[in-house]
Structures are given as structure tokens and as C-alpha cells.
Amino acid sequence: MENLNMLTDDMLVARYSEGDNKAFDELLARYQSKLFNYIFFIVRSQELAEDIFQETFVKAITTIQQGRYTPSGKFGSWLTRIAHNMIVDSYRQERNENTISNDEVEVDLFNDADLCDDNIETQMVNEQTLTDVRRLMDALPSNQREVVYMRYYQDLSFKEIAEITGVSINTALGRMRYAIMGMRRMAEEKHIVLEVY
């Protein structure tokens, strides 16, 4: 019996389009956790995240079965793009736009993001800092929060972020810039010192 986890994503898609359901099960296993976490981080609702997650895979299945998937070696990015579009559609339906103003402050909160495991005290400080950063991220508008999440939690390039979100690289960079400025402003207002050792 062939070991499916040794096949590339595109090979698995081809197998699934030929009727091998186990190939799709392998794709689902590879991406379900990362994709669901991405969706949940953006929408912050378990029920809505589950709905969008299911809709994303239904759309992927339909596209593959109709022969409209183009193999590119970026199946995960393609899935994330579908999920992003589903999230946007969900927001459009709700007509719930949240915005905050940003000051013109040039600060890179993530300039020293390399964490080390020197001792328990350092670990505790780092965990608290990450908790503080996550709280600040949660207060950002969804389009800025999404870019920060993709960049620092999914380690995507700005080119990949731009492709997934359907915006130019400059727009993605601008959203990151405004997100960092907004987080810096909120940190100052709440007297949060963001130090990572």
C-alpha cells in the first residue's frame, strides 16, 4: 500500500480528482489545523469559524472535482485564499466594519522576535509579552490583524500575503505598518512594555 503522506499536495489533488478519497483525507489532515486556526483568529467565533472552514473545503472539493484547480505547488496558499474570500463574504453580509485611527509613529514591535529558552524567568516574560501582543492584535481592525497573523504566526512573505488577501504588496505592507503603529499606540495607552528576551 502506498504511503500518501509522501506525496506532494498536487499529486494528492490529482489522485483525488481521479476518485481517490483517501488522497483528500491526507490533504485535509495536512491543512485542517492551520486553516482553522487562521479562520478562527480572524473571525473570533467558534461557530462562524467552523462554518467558514467547512465552506472552504466544500469550495475546494467542488473546484477540484470540476477540474478547475491549477496545480502550482501552493495548495495551502490556495486554501487560505478561499478561506479569506469566505471571511470577506461573511463580513460583507454582516456589514460590520470596525476601524481605528492610527498615529504616525515608526516603531517595529517585532524587531527582536527571536525567543530563547535560557531560563524559566525568561520564558515567563516572553509568554507574558506574547499574551500582551495577542491582546493588542485582537484590538486591530480585521484587515490589519489578518496581515500581522499571516506574517508572524504563519511566517508568510508579504508577496504571499498580498496574493492570499487579493491586494497589492504595498497595501499589505501598509496594513502591517498601520497595525504596528496602532499596537504601539495601544501599548503606550495601556502602559504595556513589550520586551522579548
In the chain, the domains with their CATH numbers are 4-94 (1.10.1740.10), 120-189 (1.10.10.10)
- 42-57: average pLDDT: 91
For 103-130, how does the pLDDT look when each residue is reduced to its tens digit (9 = 90+)?
A: 444 444 334 344 444 456 556 655 666 6
> Which of these ranges, 62-66, 83-87, 148-152, has the smallest mean pLDDT?
148-152
| CA pair distance 165, 171, nearest whole angstrom | 10
Could you tell me which residues come within 8 angstroms of residue 13 by beta carbon, excluding any fewer than 6 positions away?
Answer: 23, 27, 64, 69, 71, 75
Burial code of 66-78, b = ≥16 C-beta within 10 A, e = fewer? eeebeeeebbbbb
Residue 112 is predicted with a pLDDT of 39
Residue 99 is predicted with a pLDDT of 42
C-alpha cell at 64: 477540484
